[in-house]
Amino acid sequence: MGMQGDFLQLLKEQGYQIGTSVPAGTGVEITRGTTILAMKYRDGVLVAGDRRATAGNMVMYDRTDKVLELDRHSVMAIAGVPATAYEMVRVLEHSFKYYRRTQLQELSFEGKLRAVSKLLKENVAAALAGTGAVAPIFAGYDFEQGSAKIFFYDILGAEFEGVEYAVSGSGSPTIRGILHYVNTWGGQPLAALPEEEATIQALRLLTCAAEFDSATGGVNHEANLYPVVKLITERGVRTVPDGTLKPLFESKVIRHV
């Protein structure tokens, strides 16, 4: 009678192994692989991510949403293991909503940053075991400062502000150098670009990342698959529709590749 309702014990009796560590490099292949970026533009912050998920050298899915809205004024772009990242997003979304409904006001931007960092720190054990590492980018509008901001994190929860831009994921080394070049020696700084020009830059950057990183999906024009691109301004988060991305890609990107 004492074991009734003990679900863990029931699993053990059925032969499932509970709490068994998985040696590095063995076991189930975990879905991962991505390129995400955020950069400031004239009206706020643009956040974009490709849509490919991989397990080892296998492409598992080409329609993954890696730029997820947490509330009306903040998003988290995910790089790492999707299962862990999606769970973090669900927890953050619920926490922000709970605070808003109980306190009748939005959680401060500083509070949102601390919440992301806290979740990553709580995930350290899984990250060090190699089963749940996430290195996200958080972007949102800070009403106290009157500007949109970008922060990126390491897997242990340390946060860093991307003053002009931030990148993460397996394809990020390729486009980090391009962003530095464009921002320093381009026709104008990234923060001065109008919305359309910033969107074109994001499409070109993800196309470059896909050219050199097999885990990045880039743009699949034939399948009508485009990256997820979101814009954050004082008015809130807005998704750039595929109907806008398609003609920009055809006229400003595809003729150069």
By annotation, the residues acting in catalysis are 34
According to DSSP, residue 98 is labeled: H
With vertex at residue 132, the alpha carbon angle to CA 128 and CA 137, rounded to the nearest 5 degrees, is: 105
- Spatial separation of the C-alpha atoms in residues 229 and 119, rounded to whole Å: 25
- Reported as type and span, the H/E element at residue 148 is strand 147-153
Nearest to 40 by CA among 140, 142, 149: 149
The residues facing 59 across adjacent strands are 54
Amino acid at 158: A
**CA 198, 60, 81, 100 torsion: positive or negative?**
positive
Angle between helices 109-122 and 82-103 (to 10 degrees): 140
- Spatial separation of the C-alpha atoms in residues 44 and 187, rounded to whole Å: 19
HSE-CB for 64 with a 13 A CA cutoff? 30
224: left (phi over 0), alpha (psi -120 to 50) or beta: left
Q: Give me the phi and psi of 39, to 5 degrees please.
A: -150, 150
Dihedral through CA 117, CA 54, CA 36, CA 178, nearest 10?
A: 130
